[in-house]
Amino acid sequence: MSKKDKVFSVKIRRDYCKGCGLCVEFCKQGVLETSPNLNSMGYYYADPVKPENCIGCMVCTLVCPDLAVEVYSE
């Protein structure tokens, strides 16, 4: 099975996210957006609004300074 055939899921650890927006900015597939809701720390966290678009490139996990983004292969 090639990487193109795999299904990926994106998990945001909301309470770790400080809302810097790096993952949103660097996601070329448009999977992530900034949520209109606040986390327990008072930040607008990243939210996977189009998880079906995820190609598993892992760029979001690499740019996140708070280790708040996780990508899994299903």
Domain architecture of the chain: domains with CATH: 3-73 (3.30.70.20)
Q: How confident is the model at residue 49 (pLDDT cuts 50, 70, 90)?
A: very high
Residues 6+ apart with CB under 8 A from 25: none
Mean pLDDT score of the chain, rounded to an integer? 94
| CA proximity to 65, closest of 12, 13, 28, 20 | 20
- What is the pLDDT, as a whole number, of residue 24? 98
> pTM of whole model > 0.85?
yes
- Please give the pLDDT value at position 51: 94
In this prediction, residue 74 carries a pLDDT of 84
CB-neighbour burial class of residue 26 (10 A; exposed 0-12, middle 13-18, buried 19+)? middle
What whole-number distance in Å separates Cα of residue 38 and Cα of residue 6? 32
Are the C-beta atoms of 43 and 68 separated by less than 8 Å? no
pLDDT digits (tens, 9 = 90+) for 25-45: 999 999 999 999 999 999 999
* Upper half-sphere CA count for residue 22 (Cβ side, 13 Å): 15
